Amino acid sequence: MSVQINPQIVLVFAAIIFFIGLVGVLVRKNIIIVLMCIELMLNAVNLTFISFSRILNHLGGQVSVFFIITVAAAESAVGLGLVIALFRTLRSVDTDSIELLKG
């Protein structure tokens, strides 16, 4: 079976997911959902890496995805630690309530 699919379609799909995540980061106010949208954007970037690794026949893209997954795990752990610290201080997860630097 040799059904071809255009590589550009996979890349456009990754771009769509990335921009859906970007809309979430810009529009939502719940900081946990903002973090989840960042994970969505990271996944879209991973998909771009993997499809380029397949298009160009080079495994470096998949090795980069391995490192990105590690960094994403560390980032979400530290981010959720920050969310817990914020919730202790402000009793809220709303991004609008983070105004400690306002005079």
Stretch 15-54 residues interacting with another protein (CB under 8 A): 15-17, 19-24, 26-30, 32-33, 35-37, 39-40, 43, 46-47, 50-54
Location of structure tokens 């991973």: 46
- Kindly tell me which of 30 and 103 has the beta carbon lying closer to another protein: 30
Which residue among 38, 86, 101, 103 contacts another protein (CB under 8 A)?
86
Q: What is the DSSP track for 39-78?
A: HHHHHHHHHHHHHHHHHTT-THHHHHHHHHHHHHHHHHHH
Give the Cα separation of 39 and 76 in Å (integer): 8
**Between residue 53 and residue 72, which ones bind another protein under the rule CB under 8 A?**
53-60, 62-63, 65-67, 69-72
